[in-house]
Chain A
């Protein structure tokens, strides 16, 4: 069964450093998403992406964040200058067809900012 994959599974970085989290969505999906879950808290929407542009973003997704689909398979989330409060689990998701179709989640990347 096709699945969303994410790399790395765990990333440790120093505050102020740039990180890139990578995702490979399900191959025939057209809509891509990033969510964040701070430890012990609920999952929060960050951004959605369709047709090579951002469709919607939350207030969390400030200028430090960017997303890109550099080729036909990868979908990346870049944090330009990490802060301690960026430490969280980051989930990529993808969906086929309509905007409100089922979103399938990847296994997540645990980001630790020291």
Chain B
């Protein structure tokens, strides 16, 4: 079975702090892509960051970075200098063939 597990249903951090969202996944494939999507209250799905599984270097996108541990099938998201606008639901996902498989999400609250 291909699954994505996000063990933190909800998190709260103070503005400007750094927060790490955890994600583990299970696949038997060797080549796949991993994603973090953000879903604000508007419920739109916004791509935050993407990682190709064949690349060892961790992806970064401004304040967002990942810690990709392929052997452990772990893909955590680090948000540095968190901002109020980062408040949202965050979904970890991976893709193979024609579809994206999502985790259940982590609801992140950034507190002023």
Closest chain B CB from A34 CB (angstroms): 10
As a 0/1 sequence over residues 71 to 112 of chain B, the CB contacts with chain A under 8 angstroms (1 = contact) are: 000000000000000000001010111111111110000000
Q: Which residues of A contact B37 (CB under 8 A)?
A: 105
Contact, CB under 8 Å: A56 / B99? yes
A58 vs B99: C-alpha distance in the bound complex, in angstroms?
9
CB distance from A108 to the nearest CB of B (A): 6
- Interchain nearest-CB distance for A94 vs B (Å): 12
What size tier do the contact residues of chain A reach?
A: 20 to 34
| Contact between B98 and A42, CB atoms less than 8 A apart | no
Residue contact B45 to A105, C-beta cutoff 8 Å: yes
Question: What 0/1 pattern do residues 82 to 110 of A give for CB contact below 8 A with B?
Answer: 00000001010100000110111111101
Residue contact A42 to B43, C-beta cutoff 8 Å: no
- A89:B43 contact, CB within 8 angstroms: yes
Q: Known: A42-B91, A100-B33, A102-B50. Contact between A56 and B103, CB under 8 A?
A: no
A65 at the interface (CB under 8 A from B): no
- In angstroms, Cα B91 to Cα A103, docked, is 14
Assuming the contacts A42-B105, A45-B101, asked whether A100 and B45 have C-beta atoms less than 8 A apart, the reply is no
Q: Please tell me if B68 contacts chain A, counting CB pairs below 8 Å.
A: no
Asked if B28 is at the interface (CB within 8 A of a chain A CB), the reply is no
B 40-62 to A, binary, CB cutoff 8 A, 1 in contact else 0? 00111111001000000000000
- Report Cα–Cα, A60/B96, bound state, in Å: 18
Can you show 28 pairs from A to B with CB atoms below 8 A apart?
A: A31-B98, A33-B98, A37-B43, A41-B104, A42-B105, A43-B102, A45-B100, A48-B98, A48-B99, A55-B98, A56-B99, A89-B43, A93-B45, A93-B100, A99-B97, A100-B95, A102-B33, A102-B47, A102-B50, A104-B47, A105-B37, A105-B44, A105-B47, A107-B42, A107-B43, A107-B44, A108-B44, A108-B45
Given contacts A99-B98, A105-B46, A107-B44, 19 further A-B contacts (CB under 8 A): A33-B98, A33-B99, A35-B100, A42-B91, A42-B102, A44-B102, A45-B99, A48-B98, A55-B98, A56-B97, A56-B99, A93-B45, A93-B100, A100-B32, A100-B33, A102-B50, A103-B100, A107-B43, A108-B43
